[in-house]
Structures are given as structure tokens and as C-alpha cells.
Amino acid sequence: MNGLTAVRSLTTLPVVTLGGDAVAHVKDTVFDPSAERIASFTLTGRTLLSGPLPQDLPWPAVHCLGHHAVMVRDEGALFDLPLSVARRDAVRGRLLGAQVLTEDGDPVGTVLDVLVEGTSGRLVAFRLAAQRELVHGSRHRRHRVYVPRGEALSVTGRTLVIPAHATTYVTDDLPRFVERVGARHDRGRGVAP
């Protein structure tokens, strides 16, 4: 899948081999904050009512993210882990629900979703339940906005720290957000508008 993918949309997707066999379902997405990308997926069994599996699916083993399935070459893509390790890693790498602060200590909001590039698994942006004062002239009462991941990202426990300047790109309109962030990257690379 090209383009941006919301991490919440990956939860409960089947993990399917190129041979067409469903081998698991996605339970959680685990991020590697230092690499700013998906590290792995924790899994449940083949049916949605199955419990957690003592295996995970590392990002390098993903063939592609589809709209209706996470595709892998074969069942060997699943990596055996003790269940306690898989749970610990999932908690450590979970961003959904994390409190967001700027590097200056100002509260920004709470992470509702994470947008990743579908082909690379690279973390691109966060969808937040934002602080009211952050959203000037928002059309929405709930103040759900997008903010870029920024150049510096740190996650300590359940807190996500972003650069203070990242809040200048906040918007509640996804197409406008993509346009603003793209223009910022173009300026950074010396590309004329």
C-alpha cells in the first residue's frame, strides 16, 4: 500500500502468506522510536477471538501492507518470542494514548492514531486529541488534529516529546497537513516553491 496508513486501521487485520493462508491477526503495532518506524506487530491467533500468540511479526518480514491484510512471504516470517517479552515490547513501543509534550514542556495533547508510510513503515505524523489553545479557529469541537513527528522524537514511558516548532504545522485538515509538511521538507532541501 502506498501513501499514508493509520495504525489503528491495522489492528485486527489478518496476516496472510503469499500462498493465501491466514496465519494470524495483528494485535498491536510496536514502534522503534529511535528509528522512527514500525518495529513489529504483536499477534493474535487465526480467529479474532483467539488469544495472543507467543510470536511477533518483525517489520523486515512484512512483504506489504494492504488495505485488507498484512502480507508475508510465508509462515516463517513470524518470530517466536516468549509471550512476556512480546507483551513488554508492545507496551514499551505503544504510542496510542501517549501524552504529547513539546521539548519546552508545553502540553500538546494525547495520541489517538499514528500515520505511517505504507511501504517503509516510517512514522510520519500523529493524530491527536489536542489542547484547546493549540487549535486556533478549529472547525471541530473535539479538536482532533495532525502534527508531524518532527526531527527529534523521544518516548519515555507514556510520554511523547516533539520539537516546539512542530506545533506550527498543526491542522485538523489532513490534505492541508500533507501540503504544509511537504512544503517544509522542500524548503529544507532547498527546493523552490
Domain residues for 12?
4-92
Last residue of a domain, one of 31, 64, 92: 92
Last residue of a domain, one of 92, 108, 136: 92
Q: What are phi and psi of 102, to 5 degrees?
A: -80, 165
The three-state DSSP-derived secondary structure of the chain is CCCEEEHHHCCCCEEEECCCCEEEEEEEEEEECCCCEEEEEEEECCCCCCCEEEEEEEHHHEEEECCCCEEECCHHHCEECCHHHHHHHHHHCCCCCCEEEECCCCEEEEEEEEEEECCCCEEEEEEEEECHHHCCCCCCCCCEEEEECCCCCEEECCEEEECHHHHHHCECCHHHHHHHHHHHHHHHCCCCC
Domain count, the chain: 2
Q: How far apart are CA 40 and CA 60, in angstroms?
A: 8
Same-domain status, 80 and 159? no
Same-domain status, 50 and 29? yes
Cell numbers 500500500 label which residue?
A: 1
Residues of the chain with pLDDT under 50: 1, 137-141, 188-193
Q: Choose among 89, 160, 88, 90: nearest CA to 123.
A: 160
Q: How far apart are the first and last CA of the chain?
A: 28
Residue 61: inside a domain: yes
What pLDDT sits at residue 140? 46
Residue 193: inside a domain: no
Last residue of a domain, one of 55, 74, 92: 92
Residue 72: inside a domain: yes
Same-domain status, 48 and 118? no
Same-domain status, 82 and 103? no
What pLDDT sits at residue 21? 94
CATH number of the domain where residue 119 is located: 2.30.30
Same-domain status, 66 and 144? no
Q: How far apart are CA 116 and CA 101, in angstroms?
A: 20
Residue 164: inside a domain: yes
- The tens digit of pLDDT for each residue in 5-29 reads 888 899 889 999 999 999 999 988 8
What pLDDT sits at residue 108? 85
Instruction: Please answer whether residues 43 and 53 qualify as being in contact, where contact means their C-beta atoms are separated by less than 8 angstroms.
Output: yes
- The tens digit of pLDDT for each residue in 151-166 reads 556 665 578 888 888 7
Same-domain status, 112 and 163? yes
What pLDDT sits at residue 181? 63
Same-domain status, 80 and 114? no
Q: Specify the pTM.
A: 0.75
